[in-house]
Structure 1
Amino acid sequence: MASRKSPTARQRRLGSELRKLRERTGLSLTEAAAALGTDRTTVSNSEAGRFGVSAARVRAWAGHYACPDAAYVEALADMAEERTNGWWEDYRGDLVAGALDLAELEHHAVAIRSVQIMYMPGLLQKEEYARAVYAEVVPPLTPERLRRQLSHRLRRRDVLDKDGAPSCVFLVHEAALRMTFGGPGVALGQLGHLLDESERDNVAVRVIPFAAGGFPEIGSSTQYVHGPVPQLDTVQTDTATGPAFIDAETRLTNYRAVLDRVESRSLDPKRSRDFIRGVAQSMKA
């Protein structure tokens, strides 16, 4: 069985879920290998995402581990059957691995809920706005790196148009609406684009006004990405070195509670559109 040079986040996630299945049974690697009729190295490398596993093997291992959740097992089997490279692989070597992992995560999402404090949601950014945001990067991007970053950012938006597109709720703070990246003209164009995108059937934009007060634990852009079953949900947060991903069960539970609280303090979609129009009018004054 050939070893992968660089497993993707999705491949690593499948491996980690296989590890969780084993650990819930109380089996060591050696005990699991004996029960599965294989060797300890194969089990270990499969759990690390270094070895690929087939859907049939996932089902067989889950059966040996006596997993009672059929929907969860089938979701893992579907992950194992994924063999094609997505468009994001065109950027491997040019961008940080986390950027590719984020695009892959969004592509397979059932639903997405995000909180944006200082920036417009990445999936709803116009090219001019994205270019202005990247212009603030330190150290500055080279022209070629900027071109590739922009290309990747804009291709991510295609997920909203694909068959089976995820249902998205974007919670956007008033601060992000009033930041004038690129100047008033670019900012106004972005607000107009945000309004247009909010009319999509699968998109809801909800504004968090300054008047809503504080809320817990959201200091940076955060996306909660729903998988086909709750066990496969993922939280993505922005860091100085790129996207970070969280899938520990307790932390997922906490993030869901935080996002529920933030959403409860946001305006509904209709009032949010009116609010965005008001911000745009104040920029024109």
Structure 2
Amino acid sequence: MEEIPTKRPRVELLNDVHSHPAKSNEKDETYSEEQYSSMSKYFQKSVRRLKSDFYEQPCITLAKNLLGQILVRKLPDGTELRGRIVETESYLGGEDQASHSRGGKQTERNMAMFMKPGTMYVYQIYGMYFCMNISSQGDGAAVLLRSLEPLEGLHHMQTFRRNLRKSNSKPLKNKDLCNGPSKLCQAMVLDKSFDRRDLVTDPMAWLEEEENKIADKDIVSCERVGIGNAGVWTSKPLRFYIRGNIYVSIRDKTAEA
């Protein structure tokens, strides 16, 4: 359930967001005019915050239905960052040997997995990276958010990611901003302080409904990423992503075929 980063950035974590005053809707020159026109129409649509009944689903069902929904992070200065969920993983608890809650054992670290559906479970790895999960129905079950398609606040996302990389690093491509569990947490400024918080009521992080549901035929089911020796659970198809989406972290061409 833990993501192994490709690079180890400096241990300096997220800087004060107020030190980066650029507007969240500032144009990113790597997008075409057509893409920006499409995005502008998207932002004009009425979207709504998902309520508690959305999260009251079995873990696998929730993992699939999260695809296409919008993760929103409101910064202290009122700026809102948005990204569409394009990749998830289910961790079922109990007999799932790859889950932090395997065996049904509740600990201080995994407590959020046993809380009401829609609770954020944010854990830290290597002392500097974070991964965000959402609790579902089922004792100790939760969905890991693996990748986002960045929609709003890209300049801020670039800044937050750059602060955790080498100073001479080249600017990231848009598709590389949030294509991994720890990457999306860096870009969206999600850390351990969000652990056990409720997505239904939290003022700084929530999900908004996307009106166009992802069709079953457009969802790829495959093995989870980075699972070590978890027996038969290593190869179970519990990772889900939107077919053809360039923001997915790792494609499974065998599963796609």
Q: TM-score, normalised by structure 1?
A: 0.27
More strand by share: 2
More helix by share: 1
Q: Choose 1 or 2 for highest CA Rg.
A: 1
Greater RCO, 1 or 2 (C-alpha within 8 Å, sep 6+): 2
Q: TM-score, normalised by structure 2?
A: 0.29
